[in-house]
Structure 1
């Protein structure tokens, strides 16, 4: 509830979208927010994926009359005045700026796309203040991605429409990437996310699709993301468990991405 308590004073309405598969679990989540007029609870009748959940939340916010929506993950906590800072800073860029985020801190490491802020190529879901009409024009989040790279995919589709994505450095927030652990090799420290094999599957599959669709629009970004994919795989091989299953998942994801097999993966690793 820390993320909810931090967010509630900063926004007018909150839409909680629940992907729980179990009806009993969904009811317990609903009860957490019962009696809070500010909160609107939506249950997707099962796990439809983060992309579906995000689009459902934005569509509901649109019905409420929202012009801007702050998208959040359950594993992020915002500081005071976060929304006010983003709202103020995005105005400086005019109508072309439709999405603004900030650096985030995970496992004591600060992630930022620029040194001092300004236009960026990508923004993550968490802590992203985004204009509803621009998302609608771009086509919402893509259900077939299910999870992973849904935010990067939308970032590129917004940029292709001529819009700006902004990163402000006047504020930041805490965000957890997987079950991160610190490892050391030859005296050099690095972080492992310890994602499940299924998450590695989705990451590799959706990245391949992202690469195919954007290689000519922004080749430098595609090569950067491909290098990140290689680094993450190497760190997994060095510092994580279940390596065989995760390698199998990565290769399966690459195969399905090349073949265009999308949507929810129902197999096992």
Structure 2
């Protein structure tokens, strides 16, 4: 198994990016940083160069899906067998990649068609571990990974930290670039599921991950706070995804209801409420109309 790490950056914190690359350097056989037009692109190149890491410096933000696909093409050209996707703030503990690889190999022997395996990450802002999600009919179950040792099937896993065989990408297809950002990983997992593949969480793989810039409480639940433009992309992509044939019923219901929650929370409990409202409404309109691509403000 030859693993190629693909780290996507966009205005990254330099010290955090250094930690990300240091943490992964000895765990994989190759690394590329795909920079999406960062204002500190020279600093990104300097950090990568010091570690002997190659960089693809896009002149502008092409979106996370496009950047991931650029990394996939490099991995294919250089004869790697798997890719490991990383965000600029996902720090892998020692041994995580070996843990993922070992469990992936075992799952492939047991189940055959496995699309990807990812870590059960710890979200720093909310101080919570992720859970496995499984839809059954109209019901969506959330399954704790605490005290678990074996991988758990999950309808989707986040891209960052995920280990994916390139052979699966050749059959399922690459990431959908028109989504630009938000729910790109969810859409791919649903597409893989429709093609007969399964995705898994690995509870023993320890990863710290930062989601958004903070959280707000809605009852007992926490919702991540992102920049206003992300409200547009999430709502637009959610409504588009909810109407695709390969999206399970439980997830269609979830995506529609989450859009309503976004409208309620982001227009009453955080900053830039009027601007967020306009972006959410525009996102809803574009999502229902199927208008994707990069938002032009």
| TM-score, with structure 2 as normaliser | 0.81
For 1:49, the equivalent position in structure 2 comes to: 63
Pairs within 5 Å for 1:237-248: 237-248=267-278
Runs of 4+ residues over 6 Å off in structure 1: none
In structure 2, relative to structure 1, the CA distance for the partners of 1:234 and 1:80 (3 Å cut) is: farther
Equivalent residue for 2:260, pick from 227, 230, 238 = 230
1:97 equivalent to 2:114? Answer yes
Contact persistence 1:15–1:40 (CA under 8 A) = yes
State the alpha-carbon separation in 2 of the partners of residues 232 and 79 from structure 1: 33
Pairs within 5 Å for 1:59-138: 59-94=73-108, 95-106=112-123, 107-113=126-132, 114-115=143-144, 116=148, 117-138=151-172
Pairs within 5 Å for 1:158-173: 158-173=192-207
Contact persistence 2:242–2:251 (CA under 8 A) = no
1:145 equivalent to 2:160? Answer no
Structure 1 residues not aligned, in runs of 5+: none
State the alpha-carbon separation in 1 of the partners of residues 228 and 285 from structure 2: 15
For 2:44, the equivalent position in structure 1 comes to: 29
For 1:211, the equivalent position in structure 2 comes to: 242
Q: Deviations over 1:183-222 (max 9, x none)?
A: 5x7xx555342212211000011111110104x6510122
State the alpha-carbon separation in 1 of the partners of residues 193 and 215 from structure 2: 34
Structure 2 residues not aligned, in runs of 5+: 1-17, 133-142
State the alpha-carbon separation in 2 of the partners of residues 21 and 80 from structure 1: 28
State the alpha-carbon separation in 2 of the partners of residues 192 and 159 from structure 1: 26
In structure 2, relative to structure 1, the CA distance for the partners of 1:180 and 1:21 (3 Å cut) is: closer
Contact persistence 1:182–1:192 (CA under 8 A) = yes
State the alpha-carbon separation in 1 of the partners of residues 290 and 234 from structure 2: 14
In structure 2, relative to structure 1, the CA distance for the partners of 1:105 and 1:236 (3 Å cut) is: farther
State the alpha-carbon separation in 1 of the partners of residues 62 and 130 from structure 2: 29
In structure 2, relative to structure 1, the CA distance for the partners of 1:168 and 1:196 (3 Å cut) is: same
In structure 2, relative to structure 1, the CA distance for the partners of 1:230 and 1:78 (3 Å cut) is: farther
Matched length: 260
User: Please, which moves more after superposition, 112-121 or 226-235?
Assistant: 226-235
State the alpha-carbon separation in 2 of the partners of residues 81 and 239 from structure 1: 40
Structure showing the higher strand proportion among its residues:
2
Equivalent residue for 1:5, pick from 22, 39, 50 = 22
In structure 2, relative to structure 1, the CA distance for the partners of 1:191 and 1:221 (3 Å cut) is: closer
Q: CA deviation at 1:248?
A: 1.2
Q: CA deviation at 1:12?
A: 0.9
